[in-house]
Amino acid sequence: MIVFGDSSVDAGNNNYIATMARSNFEPYGRDFVGGKATGRFSNGRIATDFISEAFGIKAYVPPFLDPNYNISHLATGVTFASAATGYDNATSDVLSVIPLWKQLEYYKGYQKKLRSYFGERRANETIAKALHVISVGTNDFLENYYAIPGRASQYTPREYQNFLAEIAENFIHKLYGIGARKISLGGLPPMGCLPLERTTNFVGGNECVANYNNVALEFNDKLSKLTTKLKKDLPGIRLVFSNPYDILLHIIKKPAQYGFQVTSMACCATGMFEMGYACSRASSFSCIDASKYVFWDAFHPTEKTNGIIANYMVKNTLAQFLH
């Protein structure tokens, strides 16, 4: 399993670069094996860890930049993802993280290592059989377009969506060009329901911000159409659109069905940190039982939520790749 994207799928790459967008400190990871803050933006595992396990691989997907892992550890799966990145290079510049093009360069380097480890033929087979997961896009809107001047003066929201969709299309073409055949393109969550957005929605009485949710729906529609187009354009590609929007919104609207009690607030108190990106390092204030909360911090789901979303994805879109 090969993973590209942002904090939804970063397992700790940002620990090894100079950025503020990190989570390798308490209380992050408190429910991870050994209570270790790995750099995952959650109290425990993230969605791709659960997907990897469901596919009978490892119970977690290791980060490419971690020097403790060599190609023998990474041969069954690796994530190149970097928290706070986006499709747009201007998004990755905001907190100096790894842009998507650089993640692709890392993957090319990884492929070379895989070829010397497995031999050409087996490496090529492994790449063709591997599930490639792309999970990115939220930061392009929340940390860039709607947060800082620049892109908003260049593009209308719809034009910006088209700009990002073109980057996504180009990225998939490039992946296909270097041997990827099984690809899951991830959609956006209901961004207006993230605690960060709800707590600042004073006018709307701390409800979900409808405008952000509508943008996510529009962009997801573009990605869904892109998936259909690319399946026609690229012979032999097995491409699916994995959309977390409906399942996460259902959890938020009907939390009791999933055993949750709190949807609008995060388990972990947010400090005045950059853009409210992470829990405060100084604050030890976090909820007693994270499994009662949908969100771990102002931006990211708890391990329990990640598991439910991953299970939904495996059943509804990724099951075809199990064979």
Residue 245 C-beta-side C-alpha neighbours within 13 Å: 22
235 preceded by cis ω (within 30°)?
no
Q: How far is CA 70 from CA 3, 14, 101, 235, in A?
A: 17, 18, 22, 33
The CA distance from 314 to 209, in Å, is 29
The catalytically annotated residue of 31, 66, 140, 297 is 297
Nearest CA among 117, 257, 132, 248 for reference residue 192? 248
Amino acid identity, position 159:
E
286, β-bridge pairs: 268
Q: How far is CA 151 from CA 29, 63, 104, 160, 206, in A?
A: 34, 30, 24, 8, 27
**Is 7 in the active site?**
yes
**Is 233 in the active site?**
no
The CA distance from 194 to 212, in Å, is 10
The catalytically annotated residue of 6, 7, 66, 291 is 7
The CA distance from 195 to 244, in Å, is 17
**Is 300 in the active site?**
yes
Catalytically active residues, by annotation: 7, 297, 300
